[in-house]
Chains A and B, each alone.
Chain A
Amino acid sequence: MVSFVGFPLEGEGPIYLRIVRFIRAGVAAGTIVDGDEMPSRRVVSATLGVNPNTVQKAYRMLEEEGLMVSRSGAKSFAAVTPESMEAARARLQAEEIGRVVSALRRSGMEKEDAMALLSSLWDEDEQAEERGESE
């Protein structure tokens, strides 16, 4: 059963998108695997303290994205293929970097400077890893 225990109570953006992102992250990380049962809409609604419509909206998005299937009963299951796992990962990365990009742009940074910064941080991280330091 997919658990919502680690769902961050505070966060940015509408809650239905945060639910979608939470599931996507689980899929990308491999903690949610194909065939895992999703908790019912009502249970999620009660666990998170959000209106059932919000959960319904998130579940519908997940279905459209192909990360979830609802069988004729009421039960829903995670649907994960290597492709959808890759897509979820790519999406998460794009979102994360997108947030950094807008923060940098808001702070007035130029594109070249940002790329240079990224590149030097990248190298630093690589070197740190080679030295055996881990974060």
Chain B
Amino acid sequence: MLELKNVTKTYGWTKALDKVDLTVCPGEIVGLFGENGAGKTTLMKAILNLVAYSGQITLDGEPVSRRNIERFSFATCEHSFFPTLTPDGHRDFYKNHFPTWRDKRFTALMDFFKLPKLRRLNGYSTGQQNQFEVILALSQGADYILMDEPFAGSDVFNREDFYKVLLGILEPGETVILSTHLLEEVENFVSRAVLIKKGAIVGDESMSDLEDRGESLMAFVKRAYGYEPDRVSRALDRLTGEENGEEGTK
């Protein structure tokens, strides 16, 4: 179990994380949602101990340190692979460093995405690089797989199939925390939605509760975020300076 208690991170005057409490249990697929700059990436980096923070983050009761960091993997759009290594080079490196390395999964995913096996990573397209980043995170053999906007640059077919493959290969104890803007796409994929706004958690619901209430993920996000439905029309009014009250032209 991953537990965050009262986690706060400030960059200068800005609160990137504001007293975050969050518990994630094994097997959950958590969607982490929020606008740009809301703190999604910072939250993941705090969990991984990549940024200093105040508060407490523990994995099964232990603080995250070199002793248990291999139980996490991280796919980030900032990329963590080695640009001059080929996929096979990565595989050798990971095999040597992670006893939990999932070789079969790695091969299957490489085939699935049809990634070139002999080319160095700096010769990959951005979309391919992102896919490879995700493959590494899934193959490391981690218990907690963190993915930060993993599908940037992937086309819709690849993404759709990817969710399916992921659902097919994930074992019951593997946990995923996924940040993305593609709400509708992951609505059926995640088991829980966590919303973050200005560094604070403003919503946390299981998808099954949402379903029972008949609320869509999009509606929940808009509600929790305090979305103003008339924002567009107000902005247009101001921009065009035309009279109000016209609802469509036909």
Please list the residues of chain A having a beta carbon within 8 angstroms of any beta carbon in chain B: 14-16, 42-43, 45-54, 57
Who on chain B is nearest to A54 by CB? B188
CB contacts (< 8 Å) of B167 on chain A: these are: 42, 45-46, 49-52
Selected interface stretch from B65-73, B127-135, B206-214, B226-234: B206-214
> Shortest CB–CB separation between residue B189 and chain A, in angstroms?
6
Q: How long is the Cα–Cα vector from A11 to B190 in the complex, in angstroms? A: 19
Q: How long is the Cα–Cα vector from A16 to B206 in the complex, in angstroms? A: 14
**Residues of B contacting A: mostly:** helix
Q: Does B164 contact A (CB under 8 A)?
A: yes
Say whether A53 contacts B208, CB under 8 Å: yes
Say whether A49 contacts B188, CB under 8 Å: yes
Q: How long is the Cα–Cα vector from A73 to B46 in the complex, in angstroms? A: 41
Say whether A49 contacts B164, CB under 8 Å: yes
Q: Does B29 contact A (CB under 8 A)?
A: yes
Q: How long is the Cα–Cα vector from A45 to B172 in the complex, in angstroms? A: 12
Q: Does B99 contact A (CB under 8 A)?
A: no
Q: List 26 A-B contacts (CB under 8 A).
A: A14-B212, A15-B211, A42-B167, A42-B168, A43-B168, A46-B167, A46-B168, A49-B160, A49-B163, A49-B164, A49-B167, A50-B167, A50-B188, A50-B189, A51-B167, A51-B188, A51-B189, A51-B191, A52-B167, A52-B172, A53-B191, A53-B207, A54-B188, A54-B207, A54-B208, A57-B208
Who on chain B is nearest to A17 by CB? B211
CB contacts (< 8 Å) of A57 on chain B: these are: 208
CB contacts (< 8 Å) of A52 on chain B: these are: 167, 172, 191
What is the 8 Å Cβ interface bit string for chain B, positions 199-217, against chain A (1 contact, 0 not)?
0000000011001101000
Cβ-defined partner of A51 (8 Å) among B168, B190, B212:
B190
Please list the residues of chain B having a beta carbon within 8 angstroms of any beta carbon in chain A: 29, 160, 163-165, 167-168, 172, 188-191, 207-208, 211-212, 214
Q: How long is the Cα–Cα vector from A15 to B211 in the complex, in angstroms? A: 8
CB contacts (< 8 Å) of B164 on chain A: these are: 46-49
> Shortest CB–CB separation between residue A74 and chain B, in angstroms?
12
Say whether B207 contacts A16, CB under 8 Å: no
Q: How long is the Cα–Cα vector from A5 to B214 in the complex, in angstroms? A: 26
CB contacts (< 8 Å) of A51 on chain B: these are: 29, 167, 188-191, 207
8 A-B pairs closest in CB distance: A46-B168, A14-B211, A50-B188, A46-B167, A49-B164, A45-B167, A51-B191, A49-B163
Q: Which residue among A51, A52, A57 has the maximum number of chain B CB atoms within 10 Å of its CB?
A: A51
Q: How long is the Cα–Cα vector from A52 to B165 in the complex, in angstroms? A: 13
CB contacts (< 8 Å) of B211 on chain A: these are: 14-16, 54
Q: How long is the Cα–Cα vector from A43 to B167 in the complex, in angstroms? A: 8
CB contacts (< 8 Å) of B212 on chain A: these are: 14
CB contacts (< 8 Å) of A46 on chain B: these are: 164-165, 167-168
> Shortest CB–CB separation between residue B212 and chain A, in angstroms?
8
Beyond contacts A51-B188, A54-B211: 14 other A-B pairs, Cβ-Cβ < 8 A, are A14-B214, A16-B211, A42-B167, A42-B168, A43-B168, A45-B168, A46-B164, A46-B165, A49-B164, A50-B189, A51-B190, A53-B191, A54-B188, A57-B208
